[in-house]
């Protein structure tokens, strides 16, 4: 009797990439595939290896011989250079920090390539050789390895379809940037885009041309991939999905979040199996349990947040002045940026500040009324999938485009404006919080958020659009 097909999965060693890729791996295993996930040495110790569905193996990424750096740092230049979940443009990285990151990245591709090849070859003579390599789209060289090793290749895109399309058009030279206040011409969209609705690396090409090239290069060979997988769902981006499906062999397979929060079919799939930081979940839950339904603002800016000190001050007093209860995630490295006169005795009764939490557990708590977010794609999908309205405060990269869709397409949030110094003031932050939590639009935003929650659940449930696409993907292996 033939065994089930064996697939190999690899993602960039960043939480924002690994989480959706690992969730997709678990979904494939739930549907009967044998799945092995490759964890590079940078993050392998942070993964839960016994999740009952996916086998996890570690290979070197060349980091072992480098001076150890904390994962929670402010170097502004993550290992892969993609900056996917960060919050600050890397316009200046000084001296040795920049040199170390360049050395890390110089070692990464050769080391991972060698490790992948050795892993694939070791399994060739086994009873379950790998048939397919599913790889992060930001690592297009993995497709060459797959085809050289007689495997098929599936490129996994961790950003939205619209953001991917904009980067593709930038790569192809077909995106016309607006001038004199005009809008961006994107024929695949009915909603007009202003310049600052584009990903920041597109509208500000001089901020970091190396990263723009890095991101654009994911399209260097994508037409040669056997499948293109997107962490989104049809009803979320139907215009772009329909257009892309006419051009390429794409499949929407999201939202790639734990099954407990969508269809509840994957037993035991209650959380991500990767956390680079220690969550203070009991403290969060106990505090939220004391709050009334819909009364709390949850504030988080992702796993590599690096707000300017002035922006941190404005955010702190905007939250304080709103008189609304809030749970704020501030990593240990960011705590020193809080203003010294911020925490009064009165404020202690209506706020909780912790270094990290399980975001899904917080967003699903009935006390949470809105999510103040940087609008990274994973956070955006989690808010949509759990029906939580958003106060959007994007910083850069794809976050600006995600915020545009949250406000003007999905209509389940508001966006904080910035001044001429690119700072969101306390007054506008306070106004946006009150608009979502107490204003006339509150019910409309909540209704729209809950609508997409149902769409997300339906997509992942049996017979849904994403569920069917995953089944078709498996059948085609």
Q: In 10 A of CB 117, how many CB atoms?
A: 14
Output the CA angle 173-177-181, nearest 5 degrees.
Answer: 170
Encode pLDDT of 61-116 as tens digits: 988 776 665 444 333 333 333 333 333 433 343 445 567 767 777 889 999 999 99
Q: How confident is the model at residue 204 (pLDDT cuts 50, 70, 90)?
A: confident
Can 197 be counted among the known catalytic residues? no
Distance between the two ends of the chain, CA-based, in angstroms? Answer: 17
Structure confidence at residue 71 (pLDDT): 44
Bridge-based pairing state of the strands 368-373 and 296-300? parallel
Can 147 be counted among the known catalytic residues? no
pLDDT at 234 over 60: yes
Structure confidence at residue 98 (pLDDT): 63
Q: How confident is the model at residue 364 (pLDDT cuts 50, 70, 90)?
A: very high
Q: How confident is the model at residue 276 (pLDDT cuts 50, 70, 90)?
A: low
Of the listed ranges 32-46, 82-96, 142-156, 171-185, the least confidently predicted one is 82-96
**H/E segment holding residue 449:** helix 442-460
Look at 413 and 190; give whichever has higher pLDDT.
Answer: 413
What residue segments make up the domains of the chain, in order of their start? 6-273+459-475, 281-455
Q: Which residues pair with 373 in a beta bridge?
A: 300, 392
Could you tell me which CATH class the domain 281-455 is placed in? alpha beta
- Return the structure tokens found at 101: 């990151």
Of 6, 61, 80, 136, which is the active-site residue? 136
- Return the structure tokens found at 448: 């729209």
Q: Which residues contact 116 (CB under 8 A, 6 or more apart)?
A: 8, 10, 38, 59, 133, 142, 145
pLDDT at 292 over 60: yes
Alpha carbon distance 448, 236 (integer Å) = 12
On the question of a common fold for 6-273+459-475 and 281-455, the answer reads yes
Nearest to 201 by CA among 228, 237, 163, 231: 163
Q: How confident is the model at residue 311 (pLDDT cuts 50, 70, 90)?
A: very high
Alpha carbon distance 166, 351 (integer Å) = 39
| Helical axes 238-247 vs 161-172, angle rounded to 10° | 50
CATH number of 6-273+459-475: 3.40.50.2000
Structure confidence at residue 42 (pLDDT): 81
- Return the structure tokens found at 174: 């077909």
Q: Which residues pair with 392 in a beta bridge?
A: 373, 415
Q: Average of pLDDT values for 346-365? A: 94
pLDDT at 31 over 90: yes
Of the listed ranges 170-174, 388-392, 403-407, the least confidently predicted one is 170-174
Question: What proportion of the chain, given as a percentage, has pLDDT over 70?
Answer: 90
Bridge-based pairing state of the strands 227-230 and 152-157? parallel
Question: What proportion of the chain, given as a percentage, has pLDDT over 90?
Answer: 72
Q: Is the four-CA dihedral 57, 63, 69, 72 of positive or negative sign? A: negative
Of 17, 365, 374, 428, which is the active-site residue? 17
């Amino acid at each position: 009797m033939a065994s089930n097909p064996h697939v190999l999965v690899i993602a960039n060693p960043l939480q924002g990439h690994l989480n959706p890729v690992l969730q997709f791996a678990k979904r494939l295993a739930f549907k009967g595939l044998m799945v092995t996930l490759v964890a590079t040495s940078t993050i392998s110790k942070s993964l839960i290896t016994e999740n009952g569905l996916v086998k996890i193996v570690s290979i070197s990424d060349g980091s072992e011989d480098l001076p150890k750096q904390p994962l929670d740092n402010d170097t502004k230049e993550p290992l892969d250079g993609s900056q996917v979940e960060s919050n600050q443009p890397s316009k200046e990285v000084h001296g040795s920090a920049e040199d170390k990151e360049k050395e890390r990245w110089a070692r990464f591709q050769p080391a991972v390539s060698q490790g992948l090849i050795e892993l694939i070859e070791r399994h060739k003579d086994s009873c379950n050789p790998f048939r397919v390599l599913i790889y992060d789209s930001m690592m297009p060289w993995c497709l060459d390895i797959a085809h050289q090793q007689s495997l098929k290749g599936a490129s996994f895109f961790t950003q939205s379809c619209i953001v991917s399309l904009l980067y593709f058009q930038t790569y192809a030279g077909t995106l016309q940037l607006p001038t004199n206040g005009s809008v961006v011409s994107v024929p695949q969209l009915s909603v007009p885009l202003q310049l600052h609705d584009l990903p920041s690396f597109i509208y500000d090409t001089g901020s970091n041309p190396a990263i723009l090239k890095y991101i654009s290069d994911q399209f260097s060979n994508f037409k040669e991939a056997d499948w293109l997988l997107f962490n989104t769902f049809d009803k979320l981006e139907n215009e772009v999905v329909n257009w892309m499906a006419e051009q390429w062999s794409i499949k929407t397979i999201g939202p790639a979040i734990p099954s407990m929060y969508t269809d509840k079919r994957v037993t035991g799939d209650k959380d991500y199996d990767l956390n680079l930081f220690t969550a203070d979940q009991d403290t969060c839950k106990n505090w939220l349990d004391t709050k009334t339904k819909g009364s709390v603002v949850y504030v988080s800016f992702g796993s590599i947040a690096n707000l300017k000190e002035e922006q941190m001050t404005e955010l702190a007093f905007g939250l304080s002045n709103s008189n609304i209860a809030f749970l704020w995630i501030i990593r240990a490295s960011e705590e020193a940026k809080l203003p010294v006169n911020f925490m009064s005795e009165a404020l202690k009764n209506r706020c909780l500040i912790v270094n990290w939490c399980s975001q899904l557990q917080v967003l699903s708590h009935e006390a949470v009324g809105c999510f103040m977010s940087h609008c990274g794609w994973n956070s955006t999908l989690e808010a949509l999938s759990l029906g939580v309205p958003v106060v959007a405060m994007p910083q850069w990269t794809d976050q600006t485009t995600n915020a545009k869709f949250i406000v003007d397409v999905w209509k389940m949030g508001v966006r904080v404006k910035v001044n001429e110094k690119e700072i969101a003031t306390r007054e506008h932050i306070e106004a946006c919080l009150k608009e979502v939590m107490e204003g006339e639009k509150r019910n409309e935003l909540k209704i729209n958020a809950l609508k997409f929650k149902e769409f997300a659940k339906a997509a992942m449930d049996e017979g849904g659009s994403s569920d069917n696409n995953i089944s078709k993907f498996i059948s085609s292996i």
